[in-house]
Amino acid sequence: MRAARSLRWISIRALIAFAVAVLVLWTAPLVLPLGDYTHNIIGLTFMFMAAALAWNWLGGFVGQISFGHSAMFGVGGFVAARLMLAFGLPSVVGWLAGGLVAGGYALLWGHPTLRLRGPYFSIATIGVGEATRLIATYWSDFTGGSSGLSLPLSSGPTKYQLYWYGLYLLVAAVAISYWLRRSRIGLALLAIKEDVEAAADVGVNATRYQDLVLFLSGTMVGVCGGFYASYQAFIDPQDMFSFDRSISLILMAVIGGIGTVLGPTGGAVVFVIIQEFLLANYSQLYLGLYGILLILIILFEPLGLAGLLLRLRRLTGYRPPADVGAGGLTSTAAGGATEAAAVPADQSGR
Amino acid sequence: MTALLVGESVSRHFGGLRAVDNVDFHVDEAEILGLIGPNGAGKTTLFSVAAGSVPPTSGRVLLAGTPVSGKSAHRSVHLGVCRTHQIVRPFARLTVLDNVLVGFHYGRPATMPHRDPRGVAMELLEFIGLARDAHRLPGQLTLAGRKRLEVARALATGPRVLLLDEVVAGLNPAEALRLVELIRQIRDRGIAIIMIEHVMPAVMALSDRVIVLDHGRKIAEGTPAEVADDPLVIEAYLGRDAQEPGHA
Size of interface A-B (CB pairs under 8 A): 137
Q: Is a pLDDT exceeding 60 seen at residue A28?
A: yes
Question: Given an 8 Å threshold on Cβ–Cβ distance, is A336 in contact with B139?
Answer: yes
The percent of residues in chain A predicted with pLDDT above 90, rounded, is 46
Average pLDDT for chain A:
83
Q: Is a pLDDT exceeding 80 seen at residue B206?
A: yes
Phi-psi region of A148 (alpha: psi -120 to 50; beta: other; left: phi over 0): left
Q: Is a pLDDT exceeding 80 seen at residue A112?
A: yes
C-alpha dist (Å) from residue A271 to A41, A166, A190, A251, A277: 12, 17, 27, 8, 10
DSSP category for residue A127? H
Residue A17: the pLDDT is 86
Residue pair B227/B200 in contact by the 8 Å Cβ criterion: no
Using one digit for the tens of pLDDT, what is the confidence trace for A132-159? 999 999 998 888 888 888 887 666 677 8
Distance between CA B127 and CA A60 in Å, rounded? 34
Using one digit for the tens of pLDDT, what is the confidence trace for B44-82? 999 999 998 899 999 999 999 888 888 889 999 999 999
Residue A151: the pLDDT is 83
Cα R_g (chain A), whole angstroms: 22
Q: Is a pLDDT exceeding 70 seen at residue A335?
A: no
The pLDDT-based confidence of A280 (bands split at 50, 70, 90) is confident
What is the average per-residue pLDDT within A103-111? Answer: 95
Using one digit for the tens of pLDDT, what is the confidence trace for A237-252? 988 999 989 999 999 9
Residue B233: the pLDDT is 83
Report how far Cα A119 is from the mean position of its chain's Cα atoms.
18
Residue pair A78/A143 in contact by the 8 Å Cβ criterion: yes
Is the minimum CB–CB distance between A280 and chain B shorter than 8 Å? no
Residue pair B236/B242 in contact by the 8 Å Cβ criterion: no
The pLDDT-based confidence of A340 (bands split at 50, 70, 90) is very low
Q: Is a pLDDT exceeding 60 seen at residue A119?
A: yes
Residue B99: the pLDDT is 93
Report how far Cα A193 is from the mean position of its chain's Cα atoms.
16
Residue pair B49/B55 in contact by the 8 Å Cβ criterion: yes
Least confident of A89-93, A287-291, B48-52, B198-202: A287-291
Is the minimum CB–CB distance between A320 and chain B shorter than 8 Å? no
Helix (H) or strand (E) holding B246: none
ipTM of the complex: 0.87
The percent of residues in chain B predicted with pLDDT above 90, rounded, is 42
Chain B: closest CA distance from residue A268 (Å): 26
Using one digit for the tens of pLDDT, what is the confidence trace for B87-114? 899 998 899 999 999 998 898 876 666 6
Residue B240: the pLDDT is 66
Cβ neighbours of B48 in A, within 8 Å? none
CB-CB neighbours of B150 under 10 Å: 28
Question: Given an 8 Å threshold on Cβ–Cβ distance, is A200 in contact with B200?
Answer: no
Phi-psi region of A70 (alpha: psi -120 to 50; beta: other; left: phi over 0): alpha
Residue A345: the pLDDT is 31
DSSP category for residue A343? P
Give the nearest chain B residue to A350 (CA atoms).
B201
Residue B241: the pLDDT is 61
The pLDDT-based confidence of A126 (bands split at 50, 70, 90) is very high
The percent of residues in chain A predicted with pLDDT above 70, rounded, is 87
The pLDDT-based confidence of A328 (bands split at 50, 70, 90) is low
C-alpha triplet A324, A262, A121: angle, nearest 5° = 80
Give the nearest chain A residue to B157 (CA atoms).
A202
β-bridge mates for residue B211, sequence order: B35, B221
Residue B248: the pLDDT is 42
Phi then psi dihedrals of residue A291, to 5 deg: -60, -50
The SS3 of residue A332 is: coil
Residue A346: the pLDDT is 32
Range from A163-172, A253-262, B222-231 that averages highest in pLDDT: A163-172
Q: Is a pLDDT exceeding 80 seen at residue B8?
A: yes
Q: What is the 3-state secondary structure (H, E, C) of chain A?
A: CHHHHHHHCCCHHHHHHHHHHHHHHHHHHHHCCCCHHHHHHHHHHHHHHHHHHHHHHHHHHHCCCCCCCHHHHHHHHHHHHHHHHHHCCCHHHHHHHHHHHHHHHHHHHHHHHCCCCCHHHHHHHHHHHHHHHHHHHHCHHHHCHHHCEECCCCCCCCHHHHHHHHHHHHHHHHHHHHHHHHCHHHHHHHHHHHCHHHHHHCCCCHHHHHHHHHHHHHHHHHHHHHHHHHHHCEECHHHHCCHHHHHHHHHHHHHHCCCCCCHHHHHHHHHHHHHHHHCCCCHHHHHHHHHHHHHHHHHHCCCHHHHHHHHHHHHCCCCCCHHHHHCCCCCCCCHHHHCCCCCCHHHCCC
Using one digit for the tens of pLDDT, what is the confidence trace for A5-17? 444 556 788 788 8
Is the minimum CB–CB distance between B43 and chain A shorter than 8 Å? no
Q: Is a pLDDT exceeding 90 seen at residue A261?
A: no
Residue A87: the pLDDT is 86
Is the minimum CB–CB distance between A197 and chain B shorter than 8 Å? yes
Distance between CA A183 and CA A287 in Å, rounded? 38
Residue B24: the pLDDT is 92
Using one digit for the tens of pLDDT, what is the confidence trace for B111-153? 666 677 888 889 899 999 899 998 999 999 999 899 999 999 9
The pLDDT-based confidence of A322 (bands split at 50, 70, 90) is low
Residue A306: the pLDDT is 86
Least confident of A63-67, A150-154, A230-234: A150-154
Chain B: closest CA distance from residue A156 (Å): 45
The residues, ordered by sequence, that sit 6+ positions from A157 with a Cβ below 8 Å of its Cβ are A91, A165, A230
Q: Which of B39, B132, B138 is nearest to B86 (CA)?
A: B39
Is the minimum CB–CB distance between A344 and chain B shorter than 8 Å? yes
| pTM listed for this prediction | 0.86
Question: Given an 8 Å threshold on Cβ–Cβ distance, is A195 in contact with B72?
Answer: no
